[in-house]
Structure 1
Amino acid sequence: MAKTLFKLLVVLTATIAFSFGCAVALGPVLAPLGDAASSTEEALFLNPLNERSLMFDRFGGLMTAFYAEENRAPVPLEQIPETVTDAIIAVEDENFYQHDGVNLRATIRALFENVSAGGIEQGGSTITQQVVKNSILTNERSLERKTREAVLALRLEELLTKDQILERYLNTAYFGSGAYGVQAAAETYWGVNVEQLDWSQGAMLAALIRNPNGYNPITDAELAGERRDLALDRVVEVGHLTEAEAAPHRVQPLPTAILRTTPPPNTYFIEQVKLRLLRDPRFGIGMTPEERYEAVFYGGLRIYTTFDHGMQVAAEVARDQVLPGDVAGEFPFLGRVRLPDGAQDTRDLIGSSVVVTLDNATGAVRTHVGGPGFDSYEFDIATAPEGRQAGSAFKPFVLAAAFEAGLVPDDSISGRGICRFNNPGGVPDPYEVENFDGRGGGSGTLASQTRVSSNCAYVRLGQVVGLDNVVELAERLHITTPLEAANMSMPLGAPEMVPMEMVAAYAALANDGIYNAPYYIERVDDAAGNVLYQHTPAGERAVTTQTARMMTEVLVSNVQSGTGTRAQVEGQQAGGKTGTAQNSADAWFVGFTPQFSTAVWMGGVRDPNDPAFVPGQAAMIDVGGITPTGGSYPARIWGGYMNAVLAGAEPAVFPEPGPTRAGRSLTPPRGVEVEVRGG
């Protein structure tokens, strides 16, 4: 410490010698000296550098980076080439490796100017002093701050090596355009890693430190070029290059646009990961919201996810190839909306589609298309609790409840319509049901009634099974939509369902009855590589194995010869169910192969002339010349997508169910049904 005080004495003596008549001017220097020297132990604590967090897909591909104000990726000094370190040292602190933290000559020169001016006009700061300023102090321009900076710089040189100080500096410096540190700067201006930078680029970085906004090559190329050339002059003066060697670097083109080597965080999947990290303490990054925010945006986390980029692309391509219109993720349609006064209006509207895929065996979310595109439509239809009417895509819950109650696919039930049911206390009473397109229907097995999606058969089946048992079955499959056993329309999918919950429930059927909650995050590491969170499978039985296998058998037959034929996958078993809400306001196909389960939804999302438009509340009258059903566009999207994903894959089949009893005829309890008309 004696060495530190001696150097300070030299600096102050020089200042006094210059300004012996300026006691008033010296006051601000002398007054804080004792405090600054005595507080160095506490003040020299260097916080870890803020570091962006990185997010990766299931194969290790970089998806995005999370950061707030500072885009920083610290790198070790040995990774930074001499073209960068030597250029920056030449410009900022030529004698860095010779001085002890304060360059006396530069400091005295700056103090002479500053005392004469009555404030801070010149810097004279060494790299070590800049580390102190950037890491411990503030940018305040005052003699008191400069004094503390000098004291702490001398102390820092006693605690850290020169290389440690230089590494800290190169990872701390701001280079404009949101880039902190040389790695982020290399990415931002040239789209490369720092070790790939040449002398021209190193000189540009050296110039930027002094004025990162004013010398920015993207906003003022002429001035930036001049400053780069001045930096190259310094590189030549100190002997790193000859003028002949420097000449080619003076004509190198400057950056013209900000480059992003990390994609921006603007997808539905990325948003889901971010929200989970910020809201859920189980990921080990903090117990409070504030701690979790710090970890995500400043903590240098490494977040490994379940995302499959190839499957996501296949889903988006299938959607855009099938849906009409020229805008990716959207389709125009003629819709009918109900006005506040009860009247109806026909309008030109915009619709979109959802595609979400889970791995059957684990619940890993592989694909998440939540709407038209997160950059233009942030509302995520795939996970929004408001849900969408599922139509007949709900019928498998009724069928699974029937199988859990001991019924079998060969049991038969009437599908004749129009059918009417006593509905005491409900609206309407009686409750009248029609089959799709007004078809009369007839008696058939549960499997065959599923293939034709008979509304009357399923309302009757709901009464046979008991809607309270259907509610309980849906809850076991983690459907969170409030379901009321008194609602006779439940089997027809009147309640609003969340697409992500629908696909997870179907995945349980495809997984021999074992439910796995959808999840996005496999592992989270901290900046040092320590594992903070690792996903652990926690499957739970939702239905019996026999029920699950009977369900897959019935739903596979529906794709083979029922309402879902457009979802067939070449060389693979595929099962699923179509769903069309009342008036075609929503259309679905939810299905599975032995490997994956996928839900596809389509419906209205936007009225170009009415910001108050509520998504999903417009009847799709005309979409590409047809009134859509679940068996049209959604099944085609599903089939096109899964054919692309499974092209060339080994054929896989579902396990067959065990033997079942002979079928028997089912009828609702006496007094439930009022009458049957038609035939």
Structure 2
Amino acid sequence: MNNNRGNQSKQGFKAMMSPYYQRFKRHFSRFWHRYQLTRWLIVGILTLIFVISATLTFQAKTANVGDLKAQLEKTTYIYDKSNQRAGSLYKQKGTFVSLNRISPNVQKAVISTEDRNFYHEHGFSVKGIARAFFLLAKNKLLHRDYISGGGSTLTQQLVKNAFLTQEQTLTRKLKEIFLAIEVENVYSKQDILSMYLNNAYFGNGVWGVQDAAHKYFGTDAAHLTVPESAVLAGMLTSPSGFNPIDHPQASKDRRNVVLGLMAETGAITKSQATSYQQTPLTTQDTYQYKDSYRYPYYFDAVIDEAISKYGLTESDIMNHGYKIYTYLDQNYQARLQENFKNDYLFPQNSTDGTKVQAASVAVNPNNGGVMAVVGGRGKHVFRGYNRATQVKRQPGSTMKPLAVYTPALENGYFYDSELQNKKTSYGSNHYTPKNYNNVYTGKMPMYEALANSVNAPAVWLLNKIGVDKGYESVKKFGIPVTKSDKNLALALGGLNKGVSPQELAGAYTAFANNGTRTDTHYIRKIVDASGNVIVDNPRVATHDVMTPKVAKQMTSMMLGVFNNGTGATAKPYGYSVAGKTGSTEADDTGDGDATRDKWIVGYTPDVVLTTWEGFDNTNKNHHLENLSGTGVGPLFKTEMEEILPYTKQTQFDTQDASTLAKASQSDDNFWDSVQKGAGDVGDQIEQGANNAADTVKKWWQGAFGN
């Protein structure tokens, strides 16, 4: 009963609306034909297709397809400062071999399995495209935003691995097709097949058919048999699932399928396929991974700079056969790395076994080129945490030359100016810097305060010259300070964000290079696989930080740090080194002598070396001991003793300030003595003259009377 009423209602509604619908239909049809909307729709669709095709064609034409073979054939190499090969970079690359060194069995197996019409199509398959669109429509209905499968040709698979990501979307599929067409325009089928086989992934971290042949069968690609070739061809769809070492049965089953496909295409006969399918699957692993990533932290930094400064991607750098020329000194780098493996050069681990971490970086002060860098102890992680460039820690007393003594010399003070050394409170917050061991002497000369890293005189002096001048000085040294750092704590390295060892080394290059600082950098030149120079002696910013005279005076004072100051135990035997030590307190540890960071920066006219030590996470169970600057000394001393013999050993053009002060004092004493001596002689002459006059007078009186 209810259903009849519902049907009657629907029919009534349709009958009521029918005249309106018919009227709308007539008007719409008249409008559609009047303005020829069918034609405009076709034009719009064709225009859209044209725009998309033009865009994709342009992208394909500008994708440097012509360099693809060279990029796949060649490995990216890193060169040192002397243009000597230092190592190589590769991620998705194996040993490249020409097609005539790859067994025809492999070629037939791959073509039979992956792309039967390879020699008869121009980079794409119409059936494959139709299947891709069908699967796209199906997935859209199922609310899936990807393409399942796709029937890509060998050329499409090649460009997908070489140029594109592995995402499965319509956009990527269209790009793949147009790039494949461009590759077919540029290369022969033999070249394409060779590039594909050398760039394919075969599981277990192995790329390319040559290395795969050694990994699974202990032979060259040229000597692979039909069954072995079928195994490798079968792995292309699932390198891990059909891996003959880890999944022998699955690999054998897949091999037999491939052998059947080879029989279907006529690559082998059916009787041969049957015979081969009965053979056992045996493996032999003779593959040896060649790790030429010899200087991991340095190479990491080179990759980072190539990406951040020159717009390359990690994949480009690792796989496209570049030559990258750097400032690397292999002697420096090798010795730093060896030193970081020597546990005797470091403080003991914490009670739970956590290592004290460290970082060192050596910079050429004349051009800012980084010559060596090590970013940590223990196992290296590719492009992982590099403490030399990424750690941000308070620099402690290494900031005193930058924030206090340099601007003081620029504002009328002298290296031997007397500074107040008293416990003093400053400002409304009663900031009271303390000396180590709470020892105060009332006064002391500037060079002595610097050499012994005495806190009270440094803060007193910054207060005298003005915090603004100290702050601006630190900025000129390239230290990343903020307005919140503009206070007297700046004298002792009290920064909110801290600095990295590389930033501190870069700052000290100004002292070693007559007052001029050059931004630190790694890369001199980049050449692509086709021989095109894409980076050549890039212009690096230089900064006039101070006058050569001030730089010379600062070096004079900082020589005292290693001669008789806080860095005396870290002085390399037989060499003169200037620089500064620094340390920071570890708060909230319950230990008043606990230290968070230890620094030493040392330099000659040829090299600046910064070394830092500390725990990644400082707490009551993980901290260094003692606030003195000697804790990092053994490492720094050893590093310098092994680096300096390889430098030009340029000598400083000044002496230790304490030596100059003693000489000056000796000169003053000499002139005082000369002046006193001259006075004594005059007195004697005057006394002699008076005595002679008295004698003559007495003679005259005796002879002639009064």
TM-score (norm 1): 0.64
Match in the other structure for 1:407: 413
Please state how far the C-alpha of 1:198 moved relative to its aligned partner. Answer: 5.6
Give me the whole-angstrom Cα distance separating, in 1, the residues matched to 2:366 and 2:186.
Answer: 54
Q: For the Cα contact (< 8 Å) 1:134–1:172, is it kept in 2?
A: yes
CA 298–644 in structure 1, closer or farther in 2 if over 3 Å, else same: closer
Q: How does 1:28-107 map to 2 (within 5 A)?
A: 48=65, 49=68, 54=76, 56-58=78-80, 59-66=84-91, 71-72=92-93, 75=96, 79-80=97-98, 82-89=100-107, 91-92=109-110, 101-102=119-120
Give me the whole-angstrom Cα distance separating, in 2, the residues matched to 1:465 and 1:188.
Answer: 70
CA 321–437 in structure 1, closer or farther in 2 if over 3 Å, else same: farther
Match in the other structure for 1:466: 466
Q: Structure 1 residue aligned with 2:339, among 295, 318, 327?
A: 318
Q: How does 1:348-387 map to 2 (within 5 A)?
A: 351-372=356-377, 374-375=380-381, 378-384=384-390, 387=392
Match in the other structure for 2:613: 602
Give me the whole-angstrom Cα distance separating, in 2, the residues matched to 1:165 and 1:348.
Answer: 54
Give me the whole-angstrom Cα distance separating, in 2, the residues matched to 1:542 and 1:155.
Answer: 53
Aligned AA for 1:547?
Answer: V
Match in the other structure for 1:6: none
SS state of the match for residue 357, structure 1?
A: strand
Please state how far the C-alpha of 1:470 moved relative to its aligned partner. Answer: 1.2
Give me the whole-angstrom Cα distance separating, in 2, the residues matched to 1:322 and 1:174.
Answer: 40
CA 571–217 in structure 1, closer or farther in 2 if over 3 Å, else same: farther
Give me the whole-angstrom Cα distance separating, in 1, the residues matched to 2:439 and 2:226.
Answer: 76
Match in the other structure for 2:511: 509
Q: Structure 2 residue aligned with 1:651, among 625, 643, 649?
A: 649
Root-mean-square deviation (CA), in Å?
5.2
Q: For the Cα contact (< 8 Å) 1:331–1:352, is it kept in 2?
A: no
CA 489–161 in structure 1, closer or farther in 2 if over 3 Å, else same: closer
Please state how far the C-alpha of 1:641 moved relative to its aligned partner. Answer: 0.9
CA offsets 1:516-574 (integer angstroms, 9 cap, x no match): 11112222333322122223344332111111111222212211211111222233321
Work out which of the two has the higher radius of gyration on C-alpha atoms and give 1 or 2.
2
Match in the other structure for 1:478: 478
Match in the other structure for 1:449: 449
CA 537–432 in structure 1, closer or farther in 2 if over 3 Å, else same: closer
SS state of the match for residue 563, structure 1?
A: coil
Please state how far the C-alpha of 1:506 moved relative to its aligned partner. Answer: 0.8
Q: For the Cα contact (< 8 Å) 2:558–2:578, is it kept in 1?
A: yes
Q: For the Cα contact (< 8 Å) 2:206–2:212, is it kept in 1?
A: yes
Give me the whole-angstrom Cα distance separating, in 2, the residues matched to 1:294 and 1:64.
Answer: 10
SS state of the match for residue 176, structure 1?
A: coil
Give me the whole-angstrom Cα distance separating, in 1, the residues matched to 2:639 and 2:506.
Answer: 18
Match in the other structure for 1:332: 349
Match in the other structure for 2:543: 540
Structure having the larger proportion of residues in strand: 1
SS state of the match for residue 591, structure 1?
A: strand
Question: Is 1:638 the counterpart of 2:668 in the alignment?
Answer: no
Aligned AA for 1:420?
Answer: T
Give me the whole-angstrom Cα distance separating, in 1, the residues matched to 2:384 and 2:251.
Answer: 38
Structure having the larger proportion of residues in helix: 2
Q: For the Cα contact (< 8 Å) 1:84–1:205, is it kept in 2?
A: no
SS state of the match for residue 388, structure 2?
A: coil
Aligned AA for 2:566?
Answer: T
Q: For the Cα contact (< 8 Å) 2:214–2:287, is it kept in 1?
A: no
Q: How does 1:149-188 map to 2 (within 5 A)?
A: 161=188, 163-177=190-204, 179-182=206-209, 185=212
Aligned AA for 2:90?
Answer: A
Please state how far the C-alpha of 1:579 moved relative to its aligned partner. Answer: 0.8
Structure 1, unmatched stretches of 5+, are 1-38, 104-127, 140-151, 239-249, 286-291, 335-346, 606-614, 665-679
Q: Structure 2 residue aligned with 1:563, among 563, 566, 570?
A: 566
SS state of the match for residue 388, structure 1?
A: coil
Matched residues, number: 527
Q: For the Cα contact (< 8 Å) 1:190–1:259, is it kept in 2?
A: no
Aligned AA for 1:318?
Answer: N
Q: For the Cα contact (< 8 Å) 2:557–2:656, is it kept in 1?
A: no
Aligned AA for 1:467?
Answer: V
Q: Structure 2 residue aligned with 1:255, among 277, 280, 285?
A: 285
Q: For the Cα contact (< 8 Å) 1:217–1:255, is it kept in 2?
A: no
CA 154–469 in structure 1, closer or farther in 2 if over 3 Å, else same: closer
Give me the whole-angstrom Cα distance separating, in 2, the residues matched to 1:54 and 1:475.
Answer: 37
Q: Structure 2 residue aligned with 1:498, among 484, 497, 500?
A: 500
Match in the other structure for 1:531: 533
Aligned AA for 1:312?
Answer: Q
Q: Structure 2 residue aligned with 1:392, among 376, 394, 397?
A: 397
Match in the other structure for 2:520: 518
SS state of the match for residue 488, structure 2?
A: coil
Q: For the Cα contact (< 8 Å) 2:597–2:612, is it kept in 1?
A: yes
Give me the whole-angstrom Cα distance separating, in 1, the residues matched to 2:304 and 2:445.
Answer: 46
SS state of the match for residue 461, structure 1?
A: helix
Please state how far the C-alpha of 1:638 moved relative to its aligned partner. Answer: 0.9
Match in the other structure for 2:576: 573
Please state how far the C-alpha of 1:504 moved relative to its aligned partner. Answer: 0.7
CA offsets 1:415-474 (integer angstroms, 9 cap, x no match): 3x4x113x333x3x1x32322122233533221222222112212221232222111111
Please state how far the C-alpha of 1:589 moved relative to its aligned partner. Answer: 0.9
Q: How much identity, in percent, do the aligned residues show?
A: 23
CA offsets 1:277-298 (integer angstroms, 9 cap, x no match): 4444xx154xxxxxx5674566
Q: For the Cα contact (< 8 Å) 1:268–1:369, is it kept in 2?
A: yes
Please state how far the C-alpha of 1:619 moved relative to its aligned partner. Answer: 8.7
Aligned AA for 2:520?
Answer: P
Aligned AA for 1:517?
Answer: D
Match in the other structure for 1:111: none
Q: For the Cα contact (< 8 Å) 2:374–2:388, is it kept in 1?
A: yes
Give me the whole-angstrom Cα distance separating, in 1, the residues matched to 2:450 and 2:198.
Answer: 63
Please state how far the C-alpha of 1:515 moved relative to its aligned partner. Answer: 0.5
Structure 2, unmatched stretches of 5+, are 1-52, 122-151, 167-178, 269-279, 586-593, 666-706
CA 100–307 in structure 1, closer or farther in 2 if over 3 Å, else same: closer
Aligned AA for 1:511?
Answer: N
Q: For the Cα contact (< 8 Å) 1:101–1:156, is it kept in 2?
A: no
Give me the whole-angstrom Cα distance separating, in 1, the residues matched to 2:226 and 2:362.
Answer: 46
Aligned AA for 1:199?
Answer: H
SS state of the match for residue 355, structure 1?
A: strand
Match in the other structure for 1:420: 424
Please state how far the C-alpha of 1:494 moved relative to its aligned partner. Answer: 1.9
Match in the other structure for 2:694: none
Match in the other structure for 2:6: none
Give me the whole-angstrom Cα distance separating, in 1, the residues matched to 2:575 and 2:445.
Answer: 25
Please state how far the C-alpha of 1:477 moved relative to its aligned partner. Answer: 0.9
SS state of the match for residue 371, structure 2?
A: strand
Please state how far the C-alpha of 1:510 moved relative to its aligned partner. Answer: 0.8
Match in the other structure for 2:33: none
Q: How does 1:75-224 map to 2 (within 5 A)?
A: 75=96, 79-80=97-98, 82-89=100-107, 91-92=109-110, 101-102=119-120, 130-131=154-155, 161=188, 163-177=190-204, 179-182=206-209, 185=212, 199-200=223-224, 204=228, 207-212=231-236, 213=239, 215-220=242-247
SS state of the match for residue 432, structure 2?
A: strand
CA 473–648 in structure 1, closer or farther in 2 if over 3 Å, else same: closer
Please state how far the C-alpha of 1:332 moved relative to its aligned partner. Answer: 2.4
Aligned AA for 1:409?
Answer: Y
CA 158–62 in structure 1, closer or farther in 2 if over 3 Å, else same: closer
CA offsets 1:213-270 (integer angstroms, 9 cap, x no match): 35534324688799999999x9xx99xxxxxxxxxxx9996227783545499x5444
CA offsets 1:647-673 (integer angstroms, 9 cap, x no match): 465533122389999989xxxxxxxxx
CA 155–402 in structure 1, closer or farther in 2 if over 3 Å, else same: closer
